[in-house]
Structure 1
Amino acid sequence: MFQPNGPLPPEIYWRRRALALGAIVLALILVVWLIVSLRGGSETAEAGTTGVEVDATPTSVSASATSSANSGSGSGGSGGGSGSSDDDRDDDSETTATSETSSTPAPPVAPGQCADQSLAIKVSRDKPTYPAGEEPTFTTIITNIGDAQCDRDLGSGFQQVLVYSLDGNRRLWSNTDCFPQTEPDVRSLAPGEQAVFNVKWSVKTSTPECVDQPEPVREPVGPGAYTVVGQIGELRSAPEPFNLG
């Protein structure tokens, strides 16, 4: 049965049987490989679909978190700007107070008068250090930096001199708190012309509510480093440091 019979030499028949057997084995290997490939591709497709669903969830959460962060930044951004009041508050209270203060619009410039953009303001002190008992004198200089002559009401009710703590976080005094003078003082300023004003500080605190109080509480300001700032309309000078002895 196993011995090849025929007119040809036995080696030829053995070779034919080996080739046939090899072809059968190769066909079986191909069939097994095809089955394994089909099953593996199906599992990969399922895994890929699951992976997309899983990735979608953190993306959605991230978008929500970003939206919340932007909302928080928007509400916080509206509170930038001016210094805090005299009262000692925690950080949250100071942020709220600052936001409320900055939301109050500055008095509008009368029609036809110099716009804030055409002016520059600078403040200086007459000494870098004041010994105990001496009242500082501050000078504000308002300059027309525009290219045309214009008028501006520079009455003391429209310009302020303010004293802050050295870091600028605590507002200590303003010349308009307790003595708001609203008499007009309209100046006609040519390009490059300056208007100079002097104001003296009693080295005591004040608040905007001072004018409405019959007996306002004004505390003496102790030794230390402070800054003075000049303001007209929405225009502010650079802070000028000084010391109290």
Structure 2
Amino acid sequence: MMEPTGPLPAGVYWRRRAVAAGACVLAVVVLAWVIGGFVGSADDEPVRGTGSSRDLASAPSSPAVGSSRPASGTSAPASATSSRRTSPAPTVTPTTPPPATTVPPAPLKPCPDSSIKVVAKPDAPSYRVGERPLLHLLVLNAGKVPCTRDVSHNLRELLVHSADGKKRLWSSNDCYQEPGTDQRVLEPGKPLTFELRWAGRTSAPGCPVDRTRVPAGTYRVVGKLGALTGAPTPLRLTP
């Protein structure tokens, strides 16, 4: 090393040289640190614990120790695994009970003669000769249960008798016959009512042409249904 020369003492020049040498060493160290920082930054990025989606996508996946995940090439589809974990419980559909079986009612029995009442009555107690009296025939079920009865026209009948009941003067069936049957259900206490107007003249079986007008007086109206005959009801004809 060259000896310092100059007007100053030699120690001053040696100190200056030491400071300059130290400054050079420090500059080299700083420059090396800066260069190393730029070079190593790219290698540190994948292991940052940021939790960002980019990190998850770029980081390679590896099975953890003790994991039940199957090895590569044998893994089950993610959809199948998800379905096994989240498949809902089976839905139980309620069943509708079958409708209750309705037993049809037993067929009604025919009405016995003992439960049938036949009543005949005029609409008014008296009429004038020449008028057409309105007559009613009532068929009543006097029993306790409904029943059936044939009330066809050829079975029901209205008659007019003399006051003593010995002479038959007129019948609703002498000049009118209708074949066939007419089955009706008779409810207890609810009569069936039939009506017609009497012309005030006599009649006979076969409906003869010679018919006479019934004079003023008191007569009996009688109702019938087949073999059943009701009690007579009075009817008065006035002049």
Provide the TM-score with structure 2 as the length reference.
0.52
The answer for the alignment partner of 2:159 in structure 1 is 162
- Cα displacement (A) at 1:209: 2.6
- Cα displacement (A) at 1:221: 1.0
Instruction: State whether structure 2 residue 236 is matched by structure 1 residue 239.
Output: no
Maintained 8 Å contact 2:141/2:191: yes
**Corresponding letter in the other structure for 2:218:** A
- For structure 2, list consecutive stretches of 5 or more residues without a partner in the other structure: 1-108
Matching residue within 190, 207, 213 for 1:220: 213
The answer for the alignment partner of 1:177 in structure 2 is 174
CA distance, structure 1, for counterparts of residue 136 and residue 166 of structure 2: 22
Instruction: State whether structure 2 residue 112 is matched by structure 1 residue 115.
Output: yes
Provide the TM-score with structure 1 as the length reference.
0.51
CA distance, structure 1, for counterparts of residue 129 and residue 175 of structure 2: 23
The runs of 4+ residues in structure 1 deviating greater than 3 Å are none
- For structure 1, list consecutive stretches of 5 or more residues without a partner in the other structure: 1-111
Matches within 5 A, 1:137-152: 137-152=134-149
Q: Percent identity?
A: 38
CA distance, structure 1, for counterparts of residue 224 and residue 182 of structure 2: 16
- Cα displacement (A) at 1:115: 2.2
**Corresponding letter in the other structure for 1:232:** L
**Corresponding letter in the other structure for 1:147:** K
CA distance, structure 2, for counterparts of residue 169 and residue 191 of structure 1: 34
- Cα displacement (A) at 1:194: 1.3
Maintained 8 Å contact 1:152/1:188: yes
CA distance, structure 2, for counterparts of residue 232 and residue 120 of structure 1: 9
Maintained 8 Å contact 1:178/1:208: yes
Maintained 8 Å contact 1:149/1:190: yes
Larger radius of gyration: 2
CA distance, structure 2, for counterparts of residue 159 and residue 115 of structure 1: 16
**Corresponding letter in the other structure for 1:185:** D
Q: What secondary structure is seen at the aligned counterpart in 2 of 1:208?
A: coil
Q: CA RMSD in A?
A: 1.7
